């Protein structure tokens, strides 16, 4: 077919324009293409201006959400703008038929694809920024749980997008949704224990009964929390081994969390001999106070001569130490013990210990035997 001023091979241009392709005249397709070029240029220009404005605003704020939104918007690819421009052009020109149907479904697929990717990127970006901020502020939290639910949320978004696309394609998704519901119930029943642990991990994360680095005691198990996972929590025991406990057991048990202690209440006892003179007994309280005050930050609560023991005079002292670390507490107690030994030694006060004394009568000591009820004169 050759082109001439009058048309193609003698066919007038008006007749060519009236030719129908996919249910639309050629002149409608030409108009759509022209409007597509114009609208694509306008949309791309608006995108660049909007992103520049958003970047400028995000730099002025400390909010993490706007940074994640800007980063997500930058990742939206060119197919999104192409199909949006094509759909806008088809709507403006009034394109219909099979061609319009293809354009609409393609545009919807592109919009859903990039919308899901955008939301995924924003959610994951917020999780990463939250984890980095927590670590920087000394509030380290294991982000594994948040990453898991972020991924799970992403998969659910893809599922919803697929159902929306299938529904707009003209298929009935009622049976499909019902089937997914039944399958979900069956899976939930089969994975009941696993799901219980997963939701327990979510409870642990948001309720925060403990965090990574805390020393906890659970029944006969104790150790430092090393990792809070999706199904289990791992402790580093004092002996060095790793203890793995299910999250469901943790949420159903009573936990002693020493990481929450702002200060430690310490109670200790010691004994002195009965032979200690009264004057020196009365000095004991002052000597204990001096020993405790040698520890930086320690605050004396009380010290008392508590009772008469079986073999000693028993004293009890209580003080507060402003550090939850066990090694720091033991160092403090050791300092107090050294000080008590030093001060008691200077004062001539002896610590008591169990001692059995055998008291012999005078007659026994001289080897005199008593018999027949008679005593020597």
DSSP string for residues in 27-51:
HHHHHHHHHHHHHHHHHHHHHHHHH
The pLDDT of residue 143 is: 64
| Topology at the third CATH level for domain 261-347 | Alpha-Beta Plaits (3.30.70)
Distance CA 157, CA 165 (A): 12
The pLDDT of residue 247 is: 83
Closest Cα to residue 319, out of 307, 341, 335?
335
CB 85 within 8 A of CB 27: no
The pLDDT of residue 274 is: 92
The pLDDT of residue 4 is: 44
Which numeric CATH code is attached to 207-259?
Answer: 2.30.30.60
The pLDDT of residue 18 is: 56
Q: What is the pLDDT of residues 301-343, one digit of tens each?
A: 999 999 999 889 999 999 999 887 888 889 999 999 999 999 9
The pLDDT of residue 187 is: 57
State which residues of the chain have pLDDT below 70.
1-29, 62-68, 90-100, 131-145, 173, 175-195, 355-377
CB 45 within 8 A of CB 37: no
H or E segment and range at residue 305: strand 299-308
Q: How far is CA 137 from the centre of its chain?
A: 14
Closest Cα to residue 153, out of 199, 130, 125, 120?
120
The domain limits of the chain are 15-190, 207-259, 261-347
Q: Strand pairing partners for 144? A: none
Q: Strand pairing partners for 271? A: 314
DSSP conformation class of 216: E
Residue 299 makes CB contacts below 8 A (sequence gap 6+) with 319, 320, 322
Q: What is the pLDDT of residues 238-279, one digit of tens each?
A: 888 899 888 888 888 888 888 777 788 999 999 999 999 999
The pLDDT of residue 152 is: 77
The pLDDT of residue 193 is: 64
DSSP string of 79-108, one letter each residue? HHHHHHHHHHHHHHHT--HHHHHHHHHHHH
Name the 3-class secondary structure at 240. Answer: coil
Model-level pTM? 0.47
């Amino acid at each position: 077919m050759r082109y001439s001023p009058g048309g193609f091979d003698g066919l007038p241009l008006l007749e060519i324009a009236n030719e129908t392709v996919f249910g639309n005249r050629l002149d409608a397709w030409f108009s759509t293409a022209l409007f597509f070029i114009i609208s694509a240029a306008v949309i791309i220009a608006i995108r660049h201006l909007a992103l520049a404005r958003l970047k400028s605003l995000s730099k002025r704020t400390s909010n993490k959400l706007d940074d994640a939104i800007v980063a997500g918007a930058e990742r939206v690819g060119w197919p999104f703008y192409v199909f949006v421009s094509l759909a806008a052009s088809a709507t403006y020109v009034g394109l219909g038929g099979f061609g319009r149907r293809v354009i609409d479904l393609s545009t919807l697929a592109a919009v859903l694809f990039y919308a899901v990717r955008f939301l995924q990127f924003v959610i994951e970006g917020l999780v990463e920024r939250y984890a980095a901020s927590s670590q920087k502020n000394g509030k380290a939290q294991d982000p594994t749980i948040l990453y898991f639910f972020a991924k799970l949320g992403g998969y659910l978004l893809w599922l919803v997008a697929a159902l929306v696309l299938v529904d707009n394609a003209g298929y009935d998704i009622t049976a499909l949704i019902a089937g997914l519901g039944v399958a979900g119930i069956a899976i939930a029943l089969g994975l009941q224990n696993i799901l219980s642990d997963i939701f327990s991990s979510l409870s642990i994360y948001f309720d925060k009964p403990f965090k990574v680095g805390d020393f906890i005691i659970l029944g006969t198990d104790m150790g430092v929390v090393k990792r809070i996972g999706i199904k289990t929590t791992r402790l580093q025991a004092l002996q060095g081994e790793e203890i793995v406990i299910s999250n469901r057991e943790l949420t159903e048990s009573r936990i002693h969390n020493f990481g929450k202690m702002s200060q430690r209440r310490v109670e200790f006892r010691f004994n002195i001999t009965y032979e200690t003179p009264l004057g020196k007994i009365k000095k004991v309280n002052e000597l204990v106070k001096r020993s405790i005050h040698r520890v930086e930050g320690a605050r004396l609560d009380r010290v008392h001569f508590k009772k008469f023991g079986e073999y000693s005079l028993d004293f009890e002292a209580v003080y507060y130490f402003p550090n939850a670390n066990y090694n720091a507490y033991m160092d403090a107690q050791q300092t107090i013990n050294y000080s008590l030994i030093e001060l008691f030694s200077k004062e001539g006060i002896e610590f008591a210990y169990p001692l059995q004394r055998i008291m012999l009568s005078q007659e026994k000591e001289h080897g005199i035997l008593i018999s027949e009820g008679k005593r020597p004169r």
